[in-house]
Amino acid sequence: LFSFFPYYGARYNYTMLSIHGYIAFGNLVEEGMDFSFGSDIENWPEKADPALIAVYTCRQRSSKLQRNFTGVFYRVVFRKSMMSLLADVSNPFLNNRNLPRYVDGDGDDFLDMIQEDLKKGMVGANSFHADMALVVTWQNVTFYQASSQDEDAGKASVLLFFVAEFNGGNKTGSVLVDPVYSKMPMQLAMMSSVPHQARGRYLFRVDDIVRKGGCSNLTVGTYRLTIYPDIVNSMGDSTVLVNGPCLTSSDSPILYVAENKPAHCTVKNAAIAECKMVRYFQWGVKYVYFSVRNIKSYIGSIYYVPSGLDPYALDLGQIHLWYMKDPPLQRRIRWYASNFTDNQLQRIASLQLSVWGYKERRDDREMKFIPTLNRLSEFITVSNNLDPREEIGSYTLTKSTMKWLESIRYELLTYRFGFLKLSVRDDTQPYSEGTSVWSHPIPLIWFYDDEVNLESIASQSCLEWFAEDGQQWNFIRDTETNSSCPCRYEQALIDIGRFMPHPRCSQRFRNLNCDVYIGAKECFLSTNNVEGSYVTHYGQVCCYDRDGYLMHTSYQTVVQVPDYPYNPGFPQRAYEFGTYPFTKQFELPTLSHYYHDILPYFSCCKWSVEHCQFFYWRRPSSSCLEYQPPGIASIMGAGHVVTFDRFNYTFNQPGIYMFLHKPKQHSGGHHHRAVSPEVQIQIRLERYPDRSVDFGHRDTYQGRLVKPLDVAVVTGVALQEGSAMESDRVLILLRKDTRRYKYRTHILVNDELRYFDTIKTQRFRGVTVYVNDWKEGQSEVYVVLEHSRIGVRIRESYAMEITRQLAFEESMGLLDVFLSIPPEFRLMQDPLDNKAKFADAVAGLAGTFSGTDKDDFLRPDRRTYQAPGDDEIAYEFANSWKVNNEQFADLFTLVTSDHRDWPEAELIGPVFPASQYYDSEAHSPQFTWEFNKRFESCDSAYFFKPDCPSFEAMQNIKAGCLQMYQCNYDSFELKQMIIGLQTKQEYVHQIELRKAGMQYYNSCGAINVEYPDYLIINPATGKLYLEGDQVQFECYPTHWLKGTGEYTCKDGRWNQGWQPWCRSKQLETTLKILTIIFGILLIIAVIGAIFFCCWLVKVGDRKRVRNVYRSGEPLSTKKLPSERTIVFPPGPGHPMDYAPPTQVNSLRPENNAVQHRQQGMNFFPSTGDGSTPSSRNSATPTIGLKTLV
């Protein structure tokens, strides 16, 4: 074929044409008059089941005796772009006798006609580009037995032997062209799936699984509706194309959407209907029912996504440019031109562009939540690209071209963000629109006039939001208690049940469209809305720096964010993924989050000046105060299990086993939720095939290709939380050999195959599934059970990049499973009642979660093995968890028998079924001592042994594995050194993750201080919250530090201190000089005050003396405590001798003084006995007396 043809998940560059009416990609064993393939083969792989396209398969012959020319003719058609390649005869790949002898210039026209027919008959064919076609014609061939009697083409007597079927081969699956005519395929020539084009024409898409195109009125319920696009924007007004029943121009079909208003459809042609979807703010799969003329409905499914995740949205270029403070003056938008077509599926020339705004409020009078989505601008006419060779249309948008509606101009500022909408004008109704495409959410600042002061408006908007959000419930207590951030990056890596990489800010998942958390190495988002004792609509975001430390909003300074890229994660009042049932305020996916969290961040932190702290006051980041690490377990390689409590054992018996089982827990337990549903995680182990078998030889039969080894690997994982009514069932299955070139795993949700090419994160009922988009072929899949918060990571071949492994054409074909459970499932110790202790414990091959490996081997009857560690006990324990449909139902089955006709039904079967030829070689368990004995025997062998690797291989195993048991086991038993080395690498990596991620950290949280200007925290990021961390505050070199400059985290608390702040050195010097000056002046003032006070005292004494002198009274009449009262008898002196001086005497002070001195000398007269009073009393006569001076 000179090109790869993808078919049923495989790809072929060759084909074999048979006269018997089929195109095969393998050898079809023709036995007798009948052909057996697909569902007719019961003993596969003993009998071959090749991949083929049975166009008109029966035993036929071409005879030269026929009157008309007969034979099988084929032609390979190429485009001119491939003709130059084919003409290169120097190319050794093309220089062979199978090269087409001629390639004319009609190839392009022929392939263009094929594309046109596909576009008008099969939905989704607009994006298909035909480069090569194979045309095969069976002319005048006849049934083999009938040729001897009548050699005319097509006899009715042989119709029962005809088959028209697609067979994937190797029991991959098969699909009939039309099940109604499975017994009468000749009727297919009279019918058609595109009756408006030609009879006998049927369209199918066969690259992965067979999907039918066109229409059919007789296959109600057999084929599901084919809908394109099957991913619909929840904003509404978009259209989908439907293949279902055959239509007429007078029909008015209706597409009923579960739990929502119906979508009315128009008929494009007999095979295609176009339905305009109504607005439906949901996220997930919704079943739809297509009804025509009130007859039976056809069923299908549509996946609704919020506006921010629509893969078919308008291409706005670099989205972060729309959020800049000074955005570019021109913006270029692009779209797929073929998405806008008329009734003839031709491109529409004229489109219209408009701006829409969103806001939400709650009307307390009507007791309803009212999300408002209004058109804000007038329509702008846009020209679509009509060139069929060009797929993209574009338009350059400027501010001058956008005009606001006069009715909405005054309330324009009440809309925080909006959308661009490109649509088809509906001329039948005024102000109506046809097919529409929405953009991702964008701020409206780009459309503001130049006269508008953006900083002023942003500041006002920030303050209004600050006041509005302050009136809401303080949700920080809920997010910190029930969804506290991991303290370290390593903890977030293993806690996959509660946190997932942020959809826009993850370096590990290569999602770098980060515009909010600039400066973070990695950000994690809570896997679902925060749920404690009640369900909330809150979310949590945790960001980590380059060293793996949690970033805090308290350390976000008040300076401009672009200058200092330190933007930590913050909790979300409206969870980004929404909250079921998506009908209340704060619950709409993406829209509520942008309205209440994202746009306020830009208004406060990026568009206004020094208002960022207002936002972080309302959205403080988590401090990991309440965080507890999860429990982790894994199985890898050839059945190497590591339990939650770090016990290692190897089990590889083929079968289906319960890897984790958690019983349903009712209220009253230690679980923080009232009711926790039952959780089942089952794994399927199959014997690994011997890769050393040479399958390239034509003489090697199918039954000999898959030679099973004596070891088993994981080939499938099934998850179910609760009953089928509570959550969807998820199956992650390994794809079969030769079918892993594009996708390496099948992801089935409720038996429906899901792809993750366009949407990496998909939510379903009770479960979230996302993939690592930079890992090729869906090789790393994550599943989160939302209510239990249990996370599972499934990888195929350790997610190796096979394209970089030049020695391998395809991946190895095995799965490894990593499991994470929340800490509330940790086993509570109850020494009194041992059985009650394990009643609600998690169990299975992953063990229990109790902190000790003594009770890891818990059987389904809730009894434990007392001595886990013996290989025989481990083997017996694992076999007790084998699923046998008695105690536990097998999840590797269809959810309902109604799905048995779906193409995905065959995908659930085993991946490596062995032939009956190998049934005698029953699997026997291998214990550690047996393997070590075999390994040492092969290592010490001097001669070649059939069951041993070569000497060189043994040396490579010893050098690469370094005596690690798991590596030696996988390299030796699986006969592939690369798997052993990958097992070793993963095993060591998990040991490091356990050591770092399972450690308990004592956190003090962020230091609750203000950060004024010029203050520097050292270290600036990193160790600022954990036990033993020391933080020092410094200032710029031009400033001095004031307050407490050093804090230490100890016992979960920071030491007490004063608020640090900075003072300018110049100001400090000035203040010191002023202090000295004022000090000197103060000293002088004090001294002067002292002298002044003394002078006042002196002046007061003088004045008092004068007053006493004038009054003649003693200076003091106050007696001392030891003073006695002495009574003096009257003396012989004249009474006037004691009288105060007269006015006349006062005029002669010197005489008065002399007089008083004389009186003082005679103050104590003598008594009659010649003695004085002093001689009879011990009191001193002068005590208490003062004389006038």
Amino acid at 1121: P
> Phi/psi at 617 (nearest 5 deg)?
-65, -35
Which residue has tokens 């042989």? 158
695 is written with which tokens? Answer: 């399958």
What b/e sequence results for 921-951 when a residue is b if at least 16 CB atoms lie within 10 Å of its CB, and e otherwise? Answer: eebebbeeeebeebbeebbeeeeeeeebbee
189, 211, 85, 210: which is closest to 138 by C-alpha?
189
Note the pLDDT of residue 1110: 76
Residues facing 423 on adjacent strands = 352, 436
The helix/strand/coil state of 987 is helix
Give the CATH fold of the 1015-1065 domain.
Complement Module; domain 1 (2.10.70)
Q: List the beta strands (DSSP E) in 788-884.
A: 790-796, 815-821
Query: Which residues, in sequence order, are CB contacts of 1108 under 8 Å at separation 6+?
Result: 1114, 1115, 1188
Whole-angstrom CA distances from 726 to 25, 678, 720, 729, 871 are: 43, 10, 9, 10, 38
Amino acid at 759: I
pTM equals 0.86
Amino acid at 765: R
663, 622, 636, 630: which is closest to 784 by C-alpha?
630
Q: Which helix (H) or strand (E) holds 139?
A: strand 132-139
What distance in Å separates the CA atoms of residue 1156 and residue 1188, rounded to the nearest whole number? Answer: 8
443, 598, 415: which is closest to 516 by C-alpha?
598
Contact in structure between 882 and 657 (CB atoms under 8 Å): yes
pLDDT tens for 1103-1126 read 888 887 777 666 555 445 555 554
Contact in structure between 194 and 201 (CB atoms under 8 Å): yes
Q: What sign does the dihedral 963-966-968-971 (CA atoms) show?
A: negative
Phi-psi label, residue 441: left if phi above 0, alpha if psi -120 to 50, beta otherwise: beta
304, 57, 318: which is closest to 165 by C-alpha?
57
Contact in structure between 241 and 312 (CB atoms under 8 Å): no
3-state secondary structure 1051-1099: CCEECCCCCCEEEEHHHHHHHHHHHHHHHHHHHHHHHHHHHHHHHHHHH
Q: Which helix (H) or strand (E) holds 893?
A: none
Contact in structure between 1054 and 1047 (CB atoms under 8 Å): yes
Cα of first residue to Cα of last residue in the chain, in angstroms, is 144
Which residue has tokens 């939302």? 786
3-state secondary structure 959-1019: HHHCCCHHHHHHHHHCCCHHHHHHHHHHHHHHHHHHHHHCCCCCECCCCCCCCCCCEEEEC
Amino acid at 386: L
The helix/strand/coil state of 187 is helix
Which residues of the chain register pLDDT less than 50?
A: 89-90, 92-97, 101, 145-161, 220-221, 558-561, 668-671, 1118-1119, 1126, 1128, 1131-1189
Q: What sign does the dihedral 733-734-739-742 (CA atoms) show?
A: positive
592 is written with which tokens? Answer: 């509520």
615 is written with which tokens? Answer: 């936002």
pLDDT tens for 326-357 read 878 888 999 988 888 877 778 888 899 999 99
Our measurement of the distance from residue 680's CA atom to the centroid of its chain's CA atoms, rounded to an integer in Å, reads: 23
Note the pLDDT of residue 727: 92
Which residue has tokens 């009191």? 1179
What distance in Å separates the CA atoms of residue 1163 and residue 538, rounded to the nearest whole number? Answer: 105
Half-sphere exposure of 125 (CA within 13 A, CB side): 26
What is the per-residue DSSP string for 587-600? -STTHHHIIIIIHH
444 is written with which tokens? Answer: 């409206």
Contact in structure between 736 and 755 (CB atoms under 8 Å): no
The helix/strand/coil state of 1016 is strand
What is the 8-class DSSP label of residue 348?
P
> Phi/psi at 157 (nearest 5 deg)?
-70, -10
Note the pLDDT of residue 1151: 47
How are beta strands 433-438 and 417-425 bridged, if at all? antiparallel
Contact in structure between 182 and 176 (CB atoms under 8 Å): yes
What distance in Å separates the CA atoms of residue 644 and residue 821, rounded to the nearest whole number? Answer: 9
**For the domain bounded by 226-305, which CATH number is listed?**
2.60.40.10
How are beta strands 368-375 and 350-363 bridged, if at all? antiparallel
686, 1035, 1148: which is closest to 892 by C-alpha?
686
Which residue has tokens 């009514």? 725
* Alpha helix positions (H), 888-964: 928-939, 951-961
Which residue has tokens 């904003």? 235
335, 336, 337, 372: which is closest to 356 by C-alpha?
372
Q: Delimit the domains of the chain by residue range.
A: 5-212, 226-305, 319-447, 454-618, 653-913, 926-999, 1015-1065, 1122-1161+1182-1189
What distance in Å separates the CA atoms of residue 794 and residue 659, rounded to the nearest whole number? Answer: 13
